Amino acid sequence: MIRRIPIVLTLGWLAVTSALAEGPKSAFEREVKPVFEKYCISCHGAKRPKAGIDLAKIKDELTLVKDADLALRVAEALADRSMPPKDKPAPSESEREAASDGIEATLDALENVHDPGPSLIQRLTRKQYNNTVNDLLGVDNKPADTFPADGGGGGGFDNNASTLFVPPILMEKYLAAAGQVLDQADPKRWRLLAPSAGVSKEEAARRCLEAFAAKAFRRPPTRDEVDRLIGLFRRADKRGDTFDQSVKLGLRAILVSPHFLFLVEQEGASGEPYRISDFELASRLSYFLWSSMPDGELFDLAAKGTLHQPDVLDRQVKRMLADPKARALATDFAAQWLRVDTLASAAEPDRGRFPTYTRELRESMTEEAVEFFHHLIKDNAPVTDLIAANYSYLNERLAKHYAVEGVSGPSFRKVTLKDRNRGGVLGMGAILTLTSYPQRTSPVLRGKWVLEEILGTPPPPPPNNVKVLPPDDRPKGEMTFRKRLEEHRKDPNCASCHAKLDPLGFGLESFDAIGRWRTEIGGKPVDASGKLTTGEDFTGPAELKKILIGSKKDQFVKNITGRMLSYALRRGLEYYDAATVKQIAARLKANGDKSTVLVAEIVKSFPFQYRRNEPIRGANP
């Protein structure tokens, strides 16, 4: 999602101001403002804005652009007819279309903005730290597993630079981990040269420390940096330590340096956006695709100054995606985006009702999602397979759970599915369990998950006085759980959101709370039918998926583009990123929605290859 932020003074913002000022009367004034004032402000005004949405603050084009996230949500609500509520006066079809198009036209002014956004210094996450010391020293332990947990930031990813703080205990952990990994590493990983008749101890140490620092800092170290490391070597050598021990003191200093623990990029000479160095590009690329440091080939290309060349970059993306380390894109990006990494902590099905839900089954569910996404990228499958695939990656345990025959053994493999209800993320046990309660499914949670994670249009939070539904879905007399939920929807405070949430969730009701297929609930037939606010009728997961890759496909493609771009940039998206998302989504569509095109276009994008200095705090916008 594009998040709301205070406006900063940038050349990009000046360009927006200029673009919006052109013309006798803007699209906002002609098409958007009249609809807001006539149909929206009465409920979403400044005094008591429903669902916390205050449209009165959007007074002109500039305030709309400042709050692009809200503007896009309003455009979507108008387009899908979920607003205004059915009991309120509503705009005509022509008014709806004109207002929605007017919002899009206003935001299109951002096409001329070239602002790469803030490039905050990011601390290595725990996974990145483990992967980096493994690649740097060849150790196979995971010292960062004992570090404090990383928080989730903008876009929902733990690599968001603005949320990766450094508590005091973490520095203690870094010191201990540095000694631990150096003790376990083979000296050949860092001992480039040993003292000999023709090489002094200090010269050998300098060569070792300079080479190691170049890899650890992910750029050539300066002479001053190497001199300081040699100072540590001299101190240890003077007190009688062995050559290896003396060099290791310098190595430890490297492993606790900010230039190792953080992805540091150099500030530019002016306030204008500028291209990052090839060494910085190598790091952005490797931590995006591998969650680890660049390898020798990336370092060599960076040293030659050719990595940023489009053809070179294309070849490197293909090479890196074919490398086993690219699995990190599935374990770190996809697992967080789809939220399956939280399955163990966020879902706990009732063991009395669901005795087959074991730790081993749960782990298989999570692995299915990771394997699916990993092979989606590896095989260059279209991103729409995430919804419409007629296959998945199963082992015997999970296949048995899904009642799929012909799969034996613990290893995961691609399995073609005869039942089109099961394929893609909407048929995965991890997602279906994650969006259920301990004793029953939740059409509301499942609908919310589809809106948020698939379509990128999260609903507002529920009102504080919302009524609690029963903990299980067994019928009460003639009242099925669905009928009880429909009664709940009659509350005017709940109706508008549930009109968007519930049909999506009801389409998945044929899956129980741990993802098994079912045909009845408490002796009553499952009703998996739904009708979207846009008028489409469907029954069951297969028909719902056809809609999601039909009329809703552009929303899905735009959402996955924005999510992956946010992960790659290591920050939440801003209003000026909307143009980049739109451009990448268009190129993706023009190339058959191929997944590697999405990755390549993100790597070639302006915000991925450029940065700007941070504005001075307190400066006037």
Residue with tokens 């730290």: 129
Whether 363 has a pLDDT exceeding 70, the answer reads: yes
Tell me if residue 113 falls in helix, strand or coil: coil
**Residue 140: alpha-carbon gap to chain centroid:** 27
Question: Rounded to whole angstroms, how far apart are CA atoms 258 and 254?
Answer: 9
Check if the beta carbon of residue 116 is closer than 8 Å to that of residue 611: yes
The pLDDT of residue 17 is 47
Kindly report the average pLDDT of the chain as a whole number.
89
Question: Rounded to whole angstroms, how far apart are CA atoms 134 and 290?
Answer: 12
The pLDDT of residue 60 is 82
Interval 70-80 mean pLDDT: 77
Tell me if residue 354 falls in helix, strand or coil: coil
Q: Is the peptide bond before 463 cis (omega within 30 degrees of 0)?
A: no
Check if the beta carbon of residue 3 is closer than 8 Å to that of residue 69: yes
Whether 348 has a pLDDT exceeding 70, the answer reads: yes
| pLDDT band at 617; cut points 50, 70, 90 | very low
Rounded percentage of the chain residues whose pLDDT exceeds 70:
90
Both tokens of 425, joined, read 């993320």
Question: Rounded to whole angstroms, how far apart are CA atoms 61 and 518?
Answer: 51
| pLDDT band at 465; cut points 50, 70, 90 | low
The pLDDT of residue 111 is 67
Q: Got the DSSP string for 34-46?
A: HHIIIIITTTSSS
The pLDDT of residue 220 is 98
Q: What is the number of H-type helices and E-type strands within the chain?
A: 30, 10
Whether 18 has a pLDDT exceeding 70, the answer reads: no
Tell me if residue 169 falls in helix, strand or coil: helix
Residue with tokens 């101890």: 201
Q: Got the DSSP string for 431-453?
A: HHHHTB-SSSB-HHHHHHHIIII
Q: Got the DSSP string for 508-533?
A: TTTB-TTS-B-SEETTEE---EEE-T
Burial class (CB in 10 A: 0-12, 13-18, 19+), 75: buried
| pLDDT band at 488; cut points 50, 70, 90 | low
Could you tell me the pTM of the whole model? 0.89
Question: Rounded to whole angstroms, how far apart are CA atoms 224 and 278?
Answer: 22
Residue 251: closest CA among 172, 298, 168, 183? 183
| pLDDT band at 229; cut points 50, 70, 90 | very high
Check if the beta carbon of residue 263 is closer than 8 Å to that of residue 222: no
Q: Which has more confidence, 49 or 361?
A: 361
Cα–Cα separations (whole angstroms), residue 62 to 18, 72, 106, 575: 10, 14, 9, 11
Helix axes 481-488, 492-506, angle to 10 degrees: 150
Burial class (CB in 10 A: 0-12, 13-18, 19+), 23: exposed
Check if the beta carbon of residue 155 is closer than 8 Å to that of residue 1: yes
Helix axes 296-304, 278-289, angle to 10 degrees: 150
Whether 153 has a pLDDT exceeding 70, the answer reads: no
Whether 23 has a pLDDT exceeding 60, the answer reads: no
The pLDDT of residue 450 is 97
What burial letters (b/e) apply to 413-451, b meaning 16+ CB within 10 Å? eebebeebbbbbbbbbbbbbbbbbbebbbbbbebbbbbb
Pairing relationship of beta strands 524-525 and 520-521 according to DSSP bridges: antiparallel
Helix axes 359-378, 595-604, angle to 10 degrees: 70
Q: Which has more confidence, 333 or 85?
A: 333
The pLDDT of residue 493 is 65
